[in-house]
Structure 1
Amino acid sequence: MFTFPRLAKRANPSPERAFYLGLLWERAAAKHPGTPVTLDQPLATLPALGTDFDYASLADVVADLAARLWELGVRPSERIAVHKTDNFDIALLACAAARIGAVPVMISSALSGEIVGQLLTRLDGPWLITDVAKLTGPLDGLPVRDLTRGTLLAGTEGHGELPLIAEVEGAPRRPAVRMHSSEPALITHTSGTTGVSKLMVHNARALFHRLLPQQIIAWPIRGSETVALCMSFVHSRFFHSLGVFLNYGNPLVVLSDPDPDKIAPIFVRHRPGLVETHPNNFIQWEDLVDAPGAPLSSVRYYSSTFDAIHPRTIQRLLAASRRPRPLLIQLYGQSETGPISGAWYTEKSAGRNDGRDVGYVLPGFIRLRVVDDNGRVLPRNQPGHLELRGRGTIMTYLGEHERYRRNITDGWWRLGDMGYLGRFGKLHLIDREVDRIDHIDSNLELEDTLMSRLEELLEAIIVIGPGGEPVPVICTRRDEPLDPGRWARATADLPPLAAPLHWPFNDVPRTSTWKVRRVEITRMLREQTAPAPAPGAADRPGA
């Protein structure tokens, strides 16, 4: 059963029960000023500062950026969208905006210009921080001037008369502005796996209630391990990870590129004890298991959030560690709610895990129930729709409040996932509601089976085909050809599947957190814009 560490009561959460992004680095620097922070690339907006920092120097960067934003006209309560090329300065600009009382709006660099335009419209005239690559690329042709209060340039390259943040010099430092904990403090967006992303409004109080269980869970590794983070800079989870480890004084390595070939030398050089990335990046990092220099040998803890992770991946990662009793810590949650359940796995226990087991509902923080199609509460072990009550739930979907309200029934939030509760509140996921296929018990379970039987697979995705049939989309390591015979043997006892579509891993539509956009793949199949089936796969039994 999932339990919190016994020493958790000694954790030191924020006394005002609020998580203020604008004070994050300042408070960390007051406690642990010399703790190192290493980046894999310089800050795009202030590249001359290099890649080696500590808590105190990054607190100074945030205060400097905040002063520059104030000088450029940004004021408290105003929304300021951050949409630029991936770089750690995204997070620092967000903290700087929050420091002067503005509301940072995190917009993924992976979104199309069309979707960004829709989000800017919902924001009703925000400030926009972007860069030349975006303005001359995805945003080219978008009426940015009409959609925003003003556009500020990150990076060092100019564009017309737009002001460059980097060229604002000598702006006087200002004390931090702290808004009320019930006011909007951060706006992020949903992953967009089912369509246009929704804008989620968080306040500092709800962000605190999400932070607290994560801070308690991380208590055993306070200050003692170097932490490597390779995550979406626009996701609320990244800020919570910063909140946890800055509070405890852990050295940080912050990475923007998940490519295993680039990760390996960094891990060999810094030897992290905890690493966190998206589940689909962990799959890629299986290539590091036998890499020169044993880049994963120092890792004692793997932290996985955002989505369930394949048991095969857990076993391989843990086997690569040379630390005693390595663990993979998994939190299941949603952007609208924060963490919901948690578990940890050893190499041995991962082998017994069915992959749909996402641990125990966090005691004292989350209440979860399972209901049928009519809203009736179901008993244990009966699958249905998952609904939640918790203090970390968002305030609303900005510009779509009625859509937000439709997800709530008598105070219970509909997660959109199907699953069931086992003994002691253990949660098992089945599928997203929109992804269900009639004669398949669980697409996700079927995907886990394929991954465990075919080690050459980097990804296996079951989606709904044009005629309602289950279509497997598969990716192989280094995009190597798929052996039709091995596929036939691996699927002989499984429900009938269409011929597999063999796609390059990087061609699969994904969100900023590397989740697969299944609805988009289904659309591509319906409109016949998807790649042809892998050669020979159509001849397998049952195809």
Structure 2
Amino acid sequence: MLLQRIANHGIRLGTLFERAASRHPANVLILDHDLDLAPDLGRRATVPELADLVADLASRLWEATVKPGDRVVVHKSDSFDITLLACAISRIGAVPVLLSPQLDGDTVAELMRRADRPHLVTDQVTLEGSLPESVFDLAESVLLTSGHHERAVELEDFAGVRRVAAVTVPADHPALITHTSGTTGVPKLAVHTGRTLQARYRPQRLAIEPVVRGREPIAMHVSFVHSRLFTALAISLLKGFPILVLSDADPVRAGDLFARIRPGILEAHPNTFMRWESLADDPREPLGNVKLFSSTFDAIHPRTVHRLLHASRRRAPLFGQLYGQSEVGPTVVRAFTRRHAPEADGRCVGRPFPGMTDVRVVSRDGQPPSESNPGYIEVRSDGRIKTYLGEQERYDRQLSDGWWRMGDVGYRTRWGCLHLLDREVDLIPGFGSTLAVEDALFAKLAQLTEVIIIPDAGGTAVPVVCTKDDKPLDREAWRGAVAGLPAMAEPVQWRLTDLPQTATTKIKRLELAKRLPAAPGPGE
């Protein structure tokens, strides 16, 4: 019945905390940081307290002339109040447009142009630090969550205003706008509706229910501007899971929190899980209670999966990998257990959700797609966004009779499993799968914390490597690891913190390739 009610209305972000509070009034949400909008609330709040904060913020925004149908860009310092603001904006029938704090000012200005005179919610630090003066001309109004600016309005000025009732928006109307990763240029603005968000919610909830019974604490490190966070929150809040939300993926800080809270579920980006491999050696066993590790973004290295699963002390922990994209949500799923070896085929990303998603691989050259001749991966899903805001033609180019081109290449086995080999733009002619080679190197070299294989100006494959504590790469071990792999140039060592990343911690490979001649090695 709950799924049917949500299907009729879509995921109603504006009342999500309110509905969760009515079902589980004693449930709590714990943060690893203070909220910019409500620093006095502290780092542990009940769900009813957060529901009240969302209603208060919605009323302040209404008093600040934000009305139903308005677009409201949120671009501010990284904090969970980005998510709370999105819910508050949705509560009064407006459309939140969430832009990552990592975006540069010129990119933010361009996305604001596409949003066609939205309101802008930001803070003094961001406004004066990275945003160009032009945002004042591009915005209907500029609203501050903290600080002061003579040309902006402070939300604090509207404290105590009369509460306004929640506005109901039809399920097929825009409910949320997020941006794509921007790995190949300026990000696109993806328009979600209540119905498309619900279509993503349903398979994720159905996937978790057989695995997790009872109320397990869940810890999340997911970008506050990513649509995945909202479906993960909806599942967790409505099931009454106590929630730990992290803004900082630092393994030391995360380990301290996990040792105290003992999460039963971990949700994070693949690169975050890579950083958390070190927690497997922590004598406090901060991962010891984890029943389910969940990653809904890119395929993850088998070494990381192996390390994390063996750090759990639960009888049969699982690592759930969902392959998807901002534009379509999760489309295929695969579960790993401890029985999978460290060198298990990480390119196998799983199978579609029966009756909910579908996948096909289309030939690039008239020959059947295979491991040696991958084809274009295309999917069908009711969770597909409605458009790219301001770029309808670009959206239409990726559609073919309802099939969405993912921008990846791969093949399907005779048993129907989808194998992801590379991004279309990352193919190196004659090399094979760069991702498969990266998996192999990770399995052989425990010293590595990242390896990215990209072409140089002449098309030669160049491995860019990062190591634990930025120690010099063991060249003898490297030579042994690459034996039998496709030919590559000598490795180039970078610091992990210097790699260009997206909001979801993916490495921007094209940008990295452009920077390659100026690679900063450790100690430079």
TM-score by length of 2: 0.96
Aligned partner of 1:128 in structure 2 is 120
Which deviates more, 482-491 or 276-285?
482-491
CA displacement at 1:12 relative to structure 2: 6.5
CA displacement at 1:479 relative to structure 2: 1.1
Aligned partner of 1:183 in structure 2 is 173
Contact 1:501-1:534 at 8 Å conserved across structures: no
User: Does the alignment pair 1:214 with 2:181?
Assistant: no
For residues 39-58 of structure 1, the aligned pairs below 5 Å read 39-58=31-50
Deviations 1:349-407 (A, max 9, x none): 25462110111111111121111126x69478773001112111111111111111111
**Unpaired runs of at least 5, structure 1:** 1-8, 536-543
Aligned partner of 1:6 in structure 2 is none
Please give the alpha-carbon distance, in whole angstroms, between the structure 2 residues aligned to 1:121 and 1:78. Answer: 14
Deviations 1:131-176 (A, max 9, x none): 122112111x341111111111113x22224222234211111111
Aligned partner of 2:328 in structure 1 is 337
Please give the alpha-carbon distance, in whole angstroms, between the structure 2 residues aligned to 1:372 and 1:19. Answer: 37
Aligned partner of 2:273 in structure 1 is 282
- Which residue identity is paired with 1:484? R
Secondary structure class of the residue paired with 1:474: strand
Aligned residues: 522
Secondary structure class of the residue paired with 1:289: helix
For residues 226-265 of structure 1, the aligned pairs below 5 Å read 226-265=217-256
353 and 125 in structure 1: CA distance in 2 versus 1, 3 angstrom threshold = same
Please give the alpha-carbon distance, in whole angstroms, between the structure 2 residues aligned to 1:172 and 1:216. Answer: 40
533 and 168 in structure 1: CA distance in 2 versus 1, 3 angstrom threshold = closer
For residues 358-507 of structure 1, the aligned pairs below 5 Å read 358-373=349-364, 378=368, 383-507=374-498
CA displacement at 1:423 relative to structure 2: 3.6
Contact 1:206-1:391 at 8 Å conserved across structures: yes
Please give the alpha-carbon distance, in whole angstroms, between the structure 1 residues aligned to 2:220 and 2:351. Answer: 24
462 and 214 in structure 1: CA distance in 2 versus 1, 3 angstrom threshold = same
CA displacement at 1:199 relative to structure 2: 0.5
- Which residue identity is paired with 2:45? F
User: Does the alignment pair 1:297 with 2:252?
Assistant: no
Please give the alpha-carbon distance, in whole angstroms, between the structure 1 residues aligned to 2:213 and 2:164. Answer: 31
User: Does the alignment pair 1:65 with 2:57?
Assistant: yes
Of the candidates 193, 196, 205, which is equivalent to residue 203 of structure 1?
Answer: 193
83 and 222 in structure 1: CA distance in 2 versus 1, 3 angstrom threshold = farther
Aligned partner of 2:184 in structure 1 is 194
138 and 223 in structure 1: CA distance in 2 versus 1, 3 angstrom threshold = farther
- Which residue identity is paired with 1:531? P
- Which residue identity is paired with 1:443? T
Percent same amino acid at aligned positions? 48
User: Does the alignment pair 1:531 with 2:520?
Assistant: yes
- Which residue identity is paired with 2:115? L
Q: Which runs of 4+ in 1 moved over 4 A?
A: 9-13, 376-382, 532-535
Contact 1:500-1:534 at 8 Å conserved across structures: no
Please give the alpha-carbon distance, in whole angstroms, between the structure 1 residues aligned to 2:509 and 2:288. Answer: 34
- Which residue identity is paired with 1:195? G
Deviations 1:34-62 (A, max 9, x none): 11111111211110111111221111111
Please give the alpha-carbon distance, in whole angstroms, between the structure 1 residues aligned to 2:251 and 2:343. Answer: 27
Aligned partner of 1:144 in structure 2 is 135
13 and 520 in structure 1: CA distance in 2 versus 1, 3 angstrom threshold = farther
- Which residue identity is paired with 1:327? L
Aligned partner of 1:98 in structure 2 is 90
Please give the alpha-carbon distance, in whole angstroms, between the structure 1 residues aligned to 2:493 and 2:142. Answer: 42
TM-score by length of 1: 0.93
- Which residue identity is paired with 2:387? T
Of the candidates 141, 150, 153, which is equivalent to residue 160 of structure 1?
Answer: 150
Contact 2:369-2:375 at 8 Å conserved across structures: no
- Which residue identity is paired with 1:295? P
Please give the alpha-carbon distance, in whole angstroms, between the structure 2 residues aligned to 1:252 and 1:80. Answer: 27
Contact 1:366-1:388 at 8 Å conserved across structures: yes
Please give the alpha-carbon distance, in whole angstroms, between the structure 1 residues aligned to 2:387 and 2:3. Answer: 30
475 and 277 in structure 1: CA distance in 2 versus 1, 3 angstrom threshold = same
Secondary structure class of the residue paired with 1:490: helix
117 and 529 in structure 1: CA distance in 2 versus 1, 3 angstrom threshold = farther
243 and 350 in structure 1: CA distance in 2 versus 1, 3 angstrom threshold = farther
Please give the alpha-carbon distance, in whole angstroms, between the structure 2 residues aligned to 1:343 and 1:423. Answer: 16
Contact 1:499-1:533 at 8 Å conserved across structures: no
User: Does the alignment pair 1:327 with 2:318?
Assistant: yes
Contact 2:377-2:405 at 8 Å conserved across structures: yes
CA displacement at 1:483 relative to structure 2: 1.3
Please give the alpha-carbon distance, in whole angstroms, between the structure 1 residues aligned to 2:98 and 2:123. Answer: 14
RMSD: 1.9
Please give the alpha-carbon distance, in whole angstroms, between the structure 2 residues aligned to 1:377 and 1:12. Answer: 43
Deviations 1:505-532 (A, max 9, x none): 111000000001001111223xx33336
Aligned partner of 2:30 in structure 1 is 38
**Unpaired runs of at least 5, structure 2:** none
- Which residue identity is paired with 2:192? H
For residues 501-520 of structure 1, the aligned pairs below 5 Å read 501-520=492-511
Secondary structure class of the residue paired with 1:67: helix
Contact 1:224-1:250 at 8 Å conserved across structures: yes
- Which residue identity is paired with 2:188? K
Aligned partner of 1:4 in structure 2 is none
Contact 1:184-1:203 at 8 Å conserved across structures: yes
Please give the alpha-carbon distance, in whole angstroms, between the structure 2 residues aligned to 1:228 and 1:82. Answer: 24
- Which residue identity is paired with 1:110? Q
- Which residue identity is paired with 2:13? L
Aligned partner of 2:68 in structure 1 is 76
- Which residue identity is paired with 2:488? L
Deviations 1:334-360 (A, max 9, x none): 000011100111122254621101111
- Which residue identity is paired with 1:179? V
CA displacement at 1:223 relative to structure 2: 4.4
